[in-house]
Amino acid sequence: MNGNETCRGLAFIMEGATEKVFYLEYLSQLCASRGFVLKKNLDTQEDRYTVMSVSGDIVVMMASVNSVTQMTNSATWFDRACVKENPGIAWTVFLCYDTDEYNSDITKFHEGDWAMLRKSIAPSARKVVDMAAGADIEDVILCDLPGVLAFLKLPPETQVPPGNKGKTKLKKLYRKAAPNKAYHSGERAKNLISHLDMAEIKASAPVPLEEIDKAIESD
């Protein structure tokens, strides 16, 4: 691609649109910090990007399934859109999901359908990484509280409101900013997410974001 050898691939399998916006922004900031170029490929219907690095091109594929119950079907997408369409490159697969709404210990997600998904993907992947925690993506976003407060124009001493879910806390912060101001997930969260400091988030996030760094940097 673009005159460079394609050396490896990253596949993100995500629950919903907010995760996609977040991980795409994370990749964008990571690439910018390394002097790499991240661009969307417009000649395909797939959600496909290319990282142009000094050691070669890196294919980035994203699949948002919008429901955790549909994530097992993504093994078929991975085999078709990633492995078969890009023969001969090594894949790192990131499973991006949360356990918050299921009131369950994270160990549950290493059993049943999740185990079947990993088993299906593993033979064609160099590595499978669980980007999962007993939290939701909004909890990860709140790891850069100063960034959230600055975006909302709230005083820097503002405390995180009480609540079990990050989404609930964010909604309360938005209402603090203005009674008629509402937090919206998905693509509508893009303005907020683009204002976050991903290095700040990585330092305390309940998911192993450093694994993305390793996958981008490895030869």
pLDDT score for 104: 43
pLDDT at 107 over 50: no
pLDDT score for 202: 96
pLDDT score for 102: 42
Region 44-61: what's the mean pLDDT?
91
Q: What is the mean pLDDT of the chain?
A: 86
pLDDT score for 113: 64
For residues 60 and 186, what is the distance between their CA atoms, to the nearest angstrom?
A: 20
Region 59-83: what's the mean pLDDT?
82
pLDDT at 90 over 50: yes
Using the structure block, give the residue that is written with the tokens 């450093």.
210
CA-derived radius of gyration, the chain: 18
Region 20-34: what's the mean pLDDT?
96
Backbone angles phi, psi at 172, to 5 degrees: -70, -35
Query: Is the pTM value of this prediction over 0.85?
Result: yes
Using the structure block, give the residue that is written with the tokens 């294919």.
59
pLDDT score for 200: 96
pLDDT score for 16: 82
pLDDT at 21 over 90: yes
Q: Of the candidates 136, 145, 205, which has an alpha carbon nearest to the alpha carbon of residue 173? A: 145
pLDDT score for 72: 64
Q: Could you give the angle at the alpha carbon of 16 between the alpha carbons of 112 and 43, nearest 5°? A: 110
pLDDT tens readout for residues 109-156: 445 566 677 788 989 999 999 887 677 899 999 999 999 999 999 999
Region 47-67: what's the mean pLDDT?
88
Query: How far separated are the first and last CA of the chain, in Å rounded?
Result: 17
Taking a C-beta distance cutoff of 8 angstroms, is the pair 218, 50 a contact? no
pLDDT tens readout for residues 173-212: 999 999 999 999 999 999 999 999 999 999 999 999 999 9
pLDDT score for 44: 87
For residues 93 and 102, what is the distance between their CA atoms, to the nearest angstrom?
A: 23
Map out the domains of the chain as residue ranges: 6-135+206-217, 139-192
Region 20-44: what's the mean pLDDT?
95
CATH of domain 6-135+206-217: 3.40.50
pLDDT band per the 50, 70, 90 thresholds, residue 106: very low
pLDDT at 50 over 90: yes
